[in-house]
A and B are shown apart, each in its own frame.
Chain A
């Protein structure tokens, strides 16, 4: 674990709470200032600062060659990033939205994930692929997919997703510093969430791959990540009234998966619910539940449950509240943890 002191952003700003979008920008800014090989590329990342303004100001500060508006072509962007990495650069690629990263999937699966392996370690590809993902912002079709299962199913990629402002900074710094490709999933509905952490403040950067207990508890564990963390924390508060003392584990990294933290928690509590908004069938929760069951079987008081989005293409915005797992659905699952063998 290392503590880095980011360059002071304007002191007037430093006192104000920061949003996740600002923390991400600060992470890129600091990485670019420290390491001239860090380059940003994507659609609208330059003058506009990205459609979510995450790269705002970086082209002005570092120039078009370091923060580049590319032609509109995701395979081209990621493919060019591969070549840039081959020549010693550290590209940070922005995909505009989750569902618009699919044209680049071929590059991701066939080259980005495999090049270190196929060259026996001779050619690592230190590429960070930032993808805003998930729903809850009223986006129309193709703007709300939770695509993490695809990336998790592709060996050779790291897959991380921050749920807090501090983690947005720390995880992105760690991802850019990683010698392996990282799919960095940004929960877009948390872009504007705030924290007392400010862009000038020191931040902790841990190697990726560690989960964290966000809320300690004794009666059951909620295992979650990214956009669903706030839902789980709220549910844990609400469950107190029912006498449930819920522990909340934020995975932060889906690949590698921190079995240790998750297993330790579930062995303590004896019960677990996995919560995420991507689909349940073939989704991350199935893998996580299986791992928990394999390792904690004799500690479990009830089957591991999953609360996930429905197995449907992402719904139209006016219906998304029915699809996204909310506090009530999590609490219902917690109630079902009072499982009895003969019921």
Chain B
């Protein structure tokens, strides 16, 4: 058909076809400022190191050394049967410590099972922090008192909680920030996606910290995602993604501080990917030799967060042999205290099983509590049917 160059007058009421769509949707954000840098942000070994507050460096170093020792002690406690399981964060101490230190007292931390160091660095009694892993109760502390959510065992499910809490705080007019921690494997979960999306839509004051330690149990990152980096995922939600060397404590502190500041000042959420490495196995129960070679582990040992900072401090004359051994002694003393306290059997009241299911026990639970009470009372009484005294059992 021949194309007509004349404008045909549409009859009234007919649909006019447009070559550009009407403005229902418009790109709202220029993606460029949201994109992470190609290389993880580093401070140690760069010029930026000279600008870091020496006090902060000393504090970070002391916490890293204690954290390393804490991981070793907790792993030892699993061998003695004092902990049911321990997911060590050896190699990831810089992420753990920085996450705790960038928060104000009124802020909230949402940890996963691996983040006991962050919880302890935030000031929680280590024994309370280990309650879950010891197995005497599921949390071990009052989350509201310490503003630390329970260590989350299901992956990524704590992230929407952080968003909801931060959103609620903002509705109330409080300048509270929530920092939520998740592993690289956890970023594949639906809850990760939903939390990031909610946070960005609500502009909630949340910082998401992904500790990319290379593995989800045995599965390497390459089998987890095809994204250029985990930090890139932020862009799709409309929040900045930041890539940082997770073994560089001052870099971690700087990037997380910046994200917290943005959140507190109304700038919305940030996704921070910390590139780090899990030097120990997934937990004490895991055999890491099945999925990775010594060479890889040794290469990462050369990039150990404790040694990196130690090197920096030594170079700058802020730390000498005495300082190093003093830090180690302090950490040993902390570990000894922890060991002593963990070696005492916890006092458990079996009736607690029914105490906190509901605000008020249901009649069903009251009946079951009475059954257990009777069983406990019977087992406390001296046996009157000892073997040989009759009775046909």
Contacts and interface: CB of A to CB of B under 8 A. Distances in A.
Interface of A: 39, 65, 70-71, 73, 75-76, 78-89, 91, 103, 106-107, 110-111, 114-124, 155-156, 158, 178-180, 209, 255-260
B181 to A, nearest CB: 15
Contact of A122 (B144, B157, B195, B359): B144
Interface in B189-219: 190-191, 193-195, 197-198, 201
A91 B161 CA distance: 13
B387 interface: no
B12 to A, nearest CB: 31
Interface string B151-181: 0001001011111111111011000001000
Contacts of B226: none
Contact of A116 (B137, B164, B191, B358): B358
A203 B63 CA distance: 59
B198 A121 contact: no
Interface residues of B, number: 43
B384 interface: no
Given A75-B191, A79-B163, A83-B164, A117 B197 contact: no
Given A71-B198, A73-B198, A107-B160, A118 B150 contact: yes
B352 interface: yes
B359 A89 contact: no
Nearest to A291: B364
Contact of B143 (A88, A107, A123): A123
A175 to B, nearest CB: 13
Contact of A111 (B142, B157, B162, B172): B157
Contacts of B157: 75, 79, 106-107, 110-111
A118 B153 CA distance: 12
Nearest to A70: B198
A179 B145 CA distance: 18
A255 B193 CA distance: 33
Q: Which 8 A-B pairs have the closest CB atoms?
A: A79-B160, A83-B164, A76-B194, A118-B138, A80-B164, A256-B362, A83-B165, A87-B168
A124 B358 CA distance: 8
Given A86-B149, A120-B352, A156 B358 contact: yes
Given A85-B164, A111-B157, A255-B362, 15 more contacts: A71-B201, A75-B194, A80-B164, A80-B167, A83-B166, A87-B168, A89-B168, A91-B164, A107-B157, A117-B138, A119-B143, A122-B143, A156-B358, A178-B359, A257-B362
A119 B79 CA distance: 27
Given A79-B191, A256-B363, A120 B356 contact: yes
Nearest to A260: B363
